[in-house]
Amino acid sequence: MTMIAPDPVAPDPKVDRALTRRRWLGRLRGGSTGRPVWRQPIAVVALTILGGWLLVAILAPLVAPYDPLAQSADTYAAPSAAHWFGTDSLGRDIFSRVVYGARLSIPLALAIVSLALLVGGLLGLVAGYLGRLADEALMRLTDLVFAFPQIILAMAVTAAFGPNTRNAVLALVIVSWPVYARVIRSAVLSMRGDDYLNAARLLGVGPVRALRRDVLPNSIGPAIVLATLELGNAVLLLAALSFLGLGPRPPAAEWGSMVALGSQDLSMWWVSVFPGLAILTVVMAFNVLGDALRDRLDPRYAKGR
Amino acid sequence: MSVSPRRLRTGALALATLAVISTTACTAGGSGGNANSGEAKTLTVNTSFVLKTLDPGRVYEATGLTAVHALYDTLLTFEGSDVGKPVPALAESYDASPDAKTFTFKLRSGVTFADGSPLTADDVVFSLNRLKNIKGSPAVTVSELSVSKTDDSTVVVTSATPNPNVPVVLAMPSTGVLNAEVARDNGAKDGADAAQGDTAQQYLDTNSIGSGPYVLKSYEPESQVVLEANPNYWGDKPQFERVVLRNMDVQTQKLTMQRAETAEISLDISGKLLDGLPESLQTSGVQDTVYFLFLNADPAVSAVTANPKFNQALRAAIDYQGIAALYGEGAAPGAGLVAPAFPGTLPASEASTRDVAKAKALLAEAGLTDPTVKFNYPAITYKGVDLGTVATKVQGDAAEAGITLELNPQPLTTFLDEMRSGKSPLGFTPQSLNYPVADSLINNMAPGQATALRSGWTVERADPAIVAAGEKVTETLDLAARATAMQEWQRLMNQSSPYIVLASNSSTVVATADLTGADYSAAGWQVDVAAVGLR
């Protein structure tokens, strides 16, 4: 008698896609009930502000009337037609510096959050999917980081590595990845044993492919919401570090260090108020946007539905 | 998830809002103001405490010096803001030998300590020997001196090397005279082994045993030090019954002084912080601090900074007037290493000036195109001025001449470590004198001396004329001639030394309008609280 080896079943892409339910994307578009995120007035305002800041950052050389580093004899000039936001102790134009500050703060915040999402996301996936020892070890590591107040740990790391932009970003990634690891891990845990995953496995889908095609798309939603919220936090933490002299080196036009410079002499209010307002608007916009996304994606926060 | 997004968001918003409103919110703060209530007159002195001890033999910090000067008398002293000529205190007169080695002090008669016991030559000898032998921080000023008495009212101080400034040293608060008997009873030693045996500091921190115009009432090094008038004081009684030294950060001092009406002094509001104070307040300041750049003269550390042409070019590139303006009121563009408060300073007319064209020409001559140097400075605020702002200004000035300076702000300890190791190519630091004599600059900053070597400035790398000019200062015993020699030394230093003096600024005493005698003194004690009175 001849043994007939069963044919290896090649995963059928159509089946694979059908089994995968990108639940979060559907909700983002409004699902079957509410309005999509981009129809909520408050979110539109936030998006507009952020879009405006992005434009300002990209077009900084066109928007800024002066070189942000150019010093002049016109020190501590109050806001006027020549200097919309006034000048600082070295006669630098604060409007130009705030504009160029967007080129630092926003890309750096994006870098911090994407790196943290990448590192935290990968570790969370691994922890959730593998379980057992890997899970235990990684979660205790996140506990370790959570045990410190974020800013204190970030300060310690930057101070130890030496204060500059790269180390400030690294420090902030180190303090912020665990949140994403936790979120992704819990999402992965919640879908372990789901039918479509079992189906995929029965069809011979390997773990890497399953993680990439099925698990990741379904768990990334909450992490994206969190990342949006965290963008504001990253802008703020970065500003806090440079306020303390641990961020980008002077004379870089960084909002936090500009606030610090102004805080030395409170009677010249414009030196710190304008960069402070820049921080405020960006942080608020990211938070409002993140909130709107979460209201949409997380049923626990859904209002009146 | 253990961190809720909502909480994160709230925290983030609160912080962002804080960043914006901090500038305005502070004007609503401030503390309780003055506790004067008519009868017992109290003088309040606000200062950011730098206070480790009130033991005269060990005191070295600003706040301690202010208090110790009021608690203990010295042989000589300075009046008001003048630190040029010591005046009699415990000694009613003194004689100096022509070789500037022997100084004979005649003690005033009838002086008693606060406890009523008489002050004799033995107390003076004990106190000065103790200062020298316990080897605390201030001992360096008396390490070459020895003391003896010829009778109960005559003390002879001899110096191992000629030193015309011994009278100035003997006006410093650390040379204050203690009641020897009480001191010994509480563990004080004055012998050669006193560094190990002396255990009196704890007692002296909380008790004063001097003959000064005030006695110590309470000592709380974190919050306040209270002095009360000495009922047995031998001289004119101070006008204020009580003096309270309060620990207060500088921004709060400014807010407090804006509301203060009577008998209140602040010691740390200086530089730009003086802007915006009410006109009714009086200020007194003396330029006693210089700020300078140091370039490393060792080609192994930096071939650029060791190049004499680069040194000259950087000197010419700097906008000294503009830097002085950053320091605010009471600052002046750099002239020489000796601050204007002290004998031997260069006149303001010799302040350095800017010449960008010359700087560029020098760089071209040296064949240096776009020289780049790391520029270290301590990330601190000193006397009301953020050193980072000044460093950024220097960077901007240098850039106009084609020199690139890479700013490298460092925590103070890191900065000092790197400076001491001699590895800083270019650095920036303030300098104040420990006592009002500029000789120590020669001892430290002349070629081959300790501080100079940190910038790689050996005798071989220096202009021989500078070495000779430095020796001339030390050899000159007449004080007026010495000051002139000091000026000559600075002029040569300004040509080729590793030091570029940027500016000098003053410490300032800010006082309410009703006070008299609230004069800043560069002698170390900042203000003589016993000399402060009401109009």
pLDDT of residue A220: 83
Whether the pLDDT of residue B120 is over 60: the answer is yes
pLDDT (tens digit per residue) in A120-158: 999 998 898 888 898 999 999 999 999 999 999 999 999
Nearest CB to A249; choose among B1, B275, B407: B407
Q: Which domains does chain A have, with CATH numbers?
A: 62-68+85-297 (1.10.3720.10)
Give the pair of three-digit tokens for residue B210: 């001097």
**Measuring CA to CA, which residue among A172, A300, A182, A302 is closest to residue A232?**
A172
Whether the pLDDT of residue B200 is over 60: the answer is yes
Between B189 and A15, whose confidence is greater?
Answer: B189
- Residues of B engaging A, defined by a Cβ cutoff of 8 Å: 1-3, 5, 8-9, 12-13, 15-17, 19-24, 26-27, 251, 272-273, 275-276, 322, 325-326, 379, 381, 386, 388-389, 391-393, 395-397, 406-409, 411
What is the 8-class DSSP label of residue B449? Answer: S
CA distance A128 to A61: 46
Q: Are A277 and B434 within 8 A, CB to CB?
A: no
Q: Are B124 and B107 within 8 A, CB to CB?
A: yes
Nearest CB to A266; choose among B20, B23, B409: B23
- Measured in whole angstroms, the distance separating CA B323 from the mean position of its chain's CA atoms is 21
Mean pLDDT of all residues in A165-193: 91
Q: How far is A247 from chain B (nearest CA, A)?
A: 11
For residue B102, what are the CA distances in angstroms to A150, B190, B197? 64, 21, 29
Least confident of A205-209, B100-104, B317-321, B462-466: A205-209
For residue B447, what are the CA distances in angstroms to A33, B9, B417, B455? 83, 59, 21, 10
- ipTM exceeding cut-off 0.85 for this assembly: no
Interface size A-B, in CB pairs within 8 Å, comes to 115
Burial of A10 (0-12, 13-18, 19+ CB in 10 A): exposed
Give the pair of three-digit tokens for residue B325: 């303006």
pLDDT (tens digit per residue) in A203-219: 888 888 888 888 888 88
CA distance A21 to A37: 20
Orientation angle between helical segments B5-25 and A270-297, nearest 10 degrees: 160
What burial letters (b/e) apply to B415-428, b meaning 16+ CB within 10 Å? beebbeeebbbbbb
pLDDT of residue B11: 45
Class of domain B52-226: alpha beta
What is the 8-class DSSP label of residue B213? Answer: S
Length of chain A in residues, anyone? 305
Q: What mean pLDDT value characterizes chain B?
A: 89
**Whether domain B286-507 has CATH 3.10.105.10:** yes
pTM over 0.90: no
Mean pLDDT of all residues in B43-50: 93
**Measuring CA to CA, which residue among A97, A116, A110 is closest to residue A50?**
A110
SS3 call for B506: strand
Each domain of chain B, given as residue ranges in start order, spans: 52-226, 286-507
Q: How far is A242 from chain B (nearest CA, A)?
A: 12
Contact A264 B19 (CB under 8 A): no
Whether the pLDDT of residue A22 is over 90: the answer is no
Mutate to test the interface with B, among A144, A180, A236 (most CBs of B within 10 A): A236
Q: Are B276 and B256 within 8 A, CB to CB?
A: no
Contact A249 B408 (CB under 8 A): yes
* CA B361-B375-B339 angle, 5° bins: 85
